[in-house]
Amino acid sequence: MESILSFNSLVEQSIIKNWDLDALTDYKGITLQYKDVARKIEKLHILFENGGVAKGDRIAICGRNSACWAVAFLATLTYGAIAVPVLHEFTADQIHNIVNHSEAKLLFVGDVVATQIDPTKMPDLEGIVYIPDYSLVVSRTDKLTYAREHLNELFGKRYPKAFRQQHVSYYKEQSPEELALINYTSGTTGFSKGVMLPYRALWGNLDFARVVLGDKIPKGANTISILPMAHMYGMAFEFLFEFVHGCHVFYLTRVPSPAIIAQAFKDVKPAIIIAVPLVIEKIIRKRVFPKLQNNKIRLLLKMPGISKKVRHKIREQVYQAFGGNLYEIIIGGAALNQEVESFLKDIDFPFTVGYGATECAPIISYSDYHDFVPTSCGRAVVHMEVKIDSDDPQNVPGEILARGTNVMLGYYKNEEATKATIDSEGWYHTGDLGLMDSAGNIYIKGRSKNMLLGANGQNIYPEEIEDKLNSMAFVNESIVIQSNGKLVGLVYPDYDEVHNMGLSNEDLENIMEQNRQSLNAVVPAYCKLASIRITEEEFEKTPKKSIKRYLYQE
């Protein structure tokens, strides 16, 4: 393996080099400079050391994104403890399970999580720390209580003349294989698995980002964190890369609705945007498409001489909607709707689609927007190799396999699942089906476990049908299921539009029947829908915003 510079060294160097720059801001709240982050890390190290935390102990962190969340995470790794980031959207029971399963010694909690959990259900914890001010919610040892009560005094004794750059010195991992964090997957079925990520996987993702974006994003540039940091996609590419690169990260600490996100783009003017399709699709559908519906613009777009100018104008407006200072938008986590994708391509917008998995911390494939091939998700990234488990990978879908620096050590305390996922040659089996063209571009066809079997043994990828259905009138989101051997579309309509237009239930049913017929006209016979059922409530989703399909199967 190529020589790997210590991950914690990179964090240390960034703090020393960027000492007086802004580092982390809670949007419309506090800003921490790199030197403030260093001081807070140091105080947490003193708390850990005097509170009885040893290197290799697990520290869980559960709360909404914030500057203080980021500091708690960095403090954990640079002390030599193992971080267990927990999605704050998990239920109290799931949080208790993860804390107990990981044998965490301390738990950091945000303001909302603090009120939801039950400390008595986590008997092995020695303490619960409140993220906003690092006060103790629960302390079960005298050592920890003493350390927190005397923290400023202990800090003052250690640094009597002020804490400076030369004092920053962190734990350096002993080997690239050393465990850095355990990340529990969204666990759509049953108890979620703890993905053990070594330092080399964090380094591999960081090095990839520095290779592809290092010279495109200036030091000190503003970026926004929208995705939960407890999810590897947000952690690696909205936080760790930016922090090591000397950027200024803004956290949307509240639940980020499309309106809040759009306003934040305007205010922060991010140099790069990392997003899941849902966010981009909502902004395009709600803010851009309606403007294109007027007849004048439609007419101009059809005129050969003028259409180019009109497209350029539309691109400029969309670019401004994302803050106007963007190198590119990287979309991942799920497939991008094809109508939205072809619109963005049509106006020559700088976007690309990547592919990854928690088990690869997370990146597997990516292409810069200049090289991005529409409907693909890029090519295998530096430090990784990808192959399709198929005799004819260009035409016959097979499981996507990945191998390299970014791959996990395995699942925590679950050897059986590890053996089923990483084979003897080190290939990680993703569970996704895909194709690969001769240039190495990867095309995802769907999850192997979502694949449906047609009456004559045809493979049906529900995601492909849903993608077409989601572009039809009044459809907000959909799932395609099999019911008595027939395909049925479950649709959650865009009720805002329905009410705006004053439509009745009967009107809505007629529109959906119209949609069904239009869809069936453009899909193969074995993909035709027998019926559409309207649901009145949004589909339940995982924290990554993918629909919990298993709840809707028959």
Is residue 115 situated within a structural domain? yes
Query: Which of 399, 416, 447 is the C-terminal boundary of a domain?
Result: 447
Is residue 265 situated within a structural domain? no
Q: Residues 35-41: what's their mean pLDDT?
A: 98
Is residue 210 situated within a structural domain? no
Say whether both 509 and 403 belong to one domain: no
Query: Which of 447, 479, 502 is the C-terminal boundary of a domain?
Result: 447
Pairing verdict, β 328-331 and 351-353: parallel
Q: What is the pLDDT of residue 81?
A: 98
Say whether both 497 and 396 belong to one domain: no
- The structural domain count of the chain equals 3
By C-alpha distance, which of 155, 161, 180 is closest to 49? 155
Q: What is the pLDDT of residue 335?
A: 79
For the sheet with 531-534, list strands across it: 475-483, 486-493, 531-534
pLDDT digits (tens, 9 = 90+) for 360-370: 999 999 999 99
Least confident of 51-60, 182-191, 387-396: 182-191
Is residue 237 situated within a structural domain? no
Say whether both 181 and 300 belong to one domain: no
Is residue 238 situated within a structural domain? no
Q: What is the DSSP letter of 194?
A: E
Say whether both 534 and 473 belong to one domain: yes
Is residue 399 situated within a structural domain? yes
Say whether both 183 and 81 belong to one domain: yes
CATH of the domain at 509: 3.30.300.30
Say whether both 44 and 141 belong to one domain: yes
Say whether both 278 and 423 belong to one domain: yes
Say whether both 409 and 471 belong to one domain: no
pTM: 0.87
CA atoms within 13 A of residue 448's CA, in its CB half-sphere = 14
The band of 189, judged by pLDDT with boundaries at 50, 70 and 90, is very low
CATH of the domain at 110: 3.40.50.980
pLDDT digits (tens, 9 = 90+) for 325-335: 999 999 987 77
Say whether both 181 and 48 belong to one domain: yes
> Dihedrals φ, ψ of 374, to 5°?
-50, 145
Say whether both 392 and 470 belong to one domain: no
User: Residues for the chain: how many in total?
Assistant: 554
Say whether both 416 and 503 belong to one domain: no
Is residue 110 situated within a structural domain? yes
Three-class secondary structure of residue 219 per DSSP? coil
391 is in which domain, residue-wise?
Answer: 272-324+327-447
Say whether both 362 and 312 belong to one domain: yes
Query: Which of 392, 417, 447 is the C-terminal boundary of a domain?
Result: 447
46 CB burial (10 A radius; 0-12, 13-18, 19+): buried
Is residue 262 situated within a structural domain? no
